[in-house]
Amino acid sequence: MENKNIQINLLIKQMLQSDNMAYVPGYLSSRVNIDYGVLNKAYQNTGKIYAKLKAELERGTCGDCIMENKMLLQLEAAPQASLDFLSNVMGELQVVETGNYDPNNYYAFMVANCIISKKPGFSKTDGYDINLTLLDNGAQELVFIGPLLEEPLIINSAALQSLLDADTSMVVETPDINKGMAELLVQSGLFMPEDVGEDGQLSASAKISEEFILKFNGEPDYEIIDIGGGKGRNILQYDMDKIERKLQPFINAEVAGILSAEQEAVAAWNVYLAKQTSLEEDDQMVQDANAGDQSWYYEIDLPLHQDKKILFGERYKAFFIKNYLKQFLTNKLPSVEEDAAVFDMQDGIKAKASKIMGDNQ
């Protein structure tokens, strides 16, 4: 089944990135109305209500006046509450504009952000609108409507605040696992301390420590590669079992940190890990790969089962090795100048076979 959230989120993103509205015939000459007047509409009758309540209290015609006092306090607090509510909503919706946003998020959040930030094609003229309602219980309600929304998107201020107070979010932000992996590479202990600069980053000349080079009888066990023309050269081989044992505790700690916020782990899975594309492959695409039919769904897969947590850890490790570690393991020449020289391919193969046979005797 086609994922509607992915379809609409990516459609809107591509439409905005292409600036296509500037080329729609008649758009620039049309009378576009982007004045939603959210606060004006919400408070247009509150002045009369406030005056009526105040008069009743002053005349003492409201009995114990408990309800009237409560309503008066709510009205006095409402303007600041509205500003805080709108600020929270806009802060949450802005997540859709981050570069690694998960298109599996509910597509209505993308639409709502386009409305509230007045993106081209999402004006009142185009059939979109926002309404703010003050509720009897002191809470407030923001409603987004428009052609792309099958049903209104309704956000309650109290419900949103409860999410924020619980340190979670309405719109899931994807963690930057690339930043974490770059730090993991430095912290892993695979490199010598002198390979790490003052900025905490690996130097351009950084190399895997010699202790992780694959050896045979105490000497580097080179792989011979064919460079054409009957010539060959040695490249280093690495003890991957030893490297992975060294890495595993660091990877486990990083994965545990991501899984501590499971909704963000789902986003990381959908954006980075499910398809296992490389950073180079994503750079060559018009749109980064997304999980597609391998997506995890916020409304279905949370909380995560243990099997998914294990799979997340496995994919995280594979992504790290493919995108960050592999560049330090591939086609690395020996540090010994003589061993790094180009040689006749057949002579090199014979010499290596002879050395192995000699060492085994």
pLDDT of residue 269: 96
pLDDT of residue 41: 85
Indicate the pTM of the whole model.
0.83
Span 43-63, mean pLDDT? Answer: 76
Instruction: Read off the amino acid at residue 141.
Output: E
Residue 111 has pLDDT above 60, yes or no: yes
pLDDT of residue 313: 96
> Is the distance from CB of 232 to CB of 344 less than 8 angstroms?
yes
Residue 28 has pLDDT above 50, yes or no: no
pLDDT in tens, 168-204: 999 999 999 999 999 999 999 999 889 998 888 898 8
pLDDT of residue 293: 85
Q: Side-chain half-sphere of 143: how many Cα atoms within 13 Å?
A: 11
> Is the distance from CB of 238 to CB of 213 less than 8 angstroms?
yes
Confidence of residue 29 (pLDDT cuts 50, 70, 90): very low
Residue 286 has pLDDT above 50, yes or no: no
> Is the distance from CB of 117 to CB of 125 less than 8 angstroms?
no
pLDDT of residue 358: 60
Q: Distance between CA 5 and CA 300 in Å, rounded?
A: 14
Q: Distance between CA 88 and CA 154 in Å, rounded?
A: 14
Span 246-250, mean pLDDT? Answer: 95
Q: What is the CA radius of gyration of the chain?
A: 30
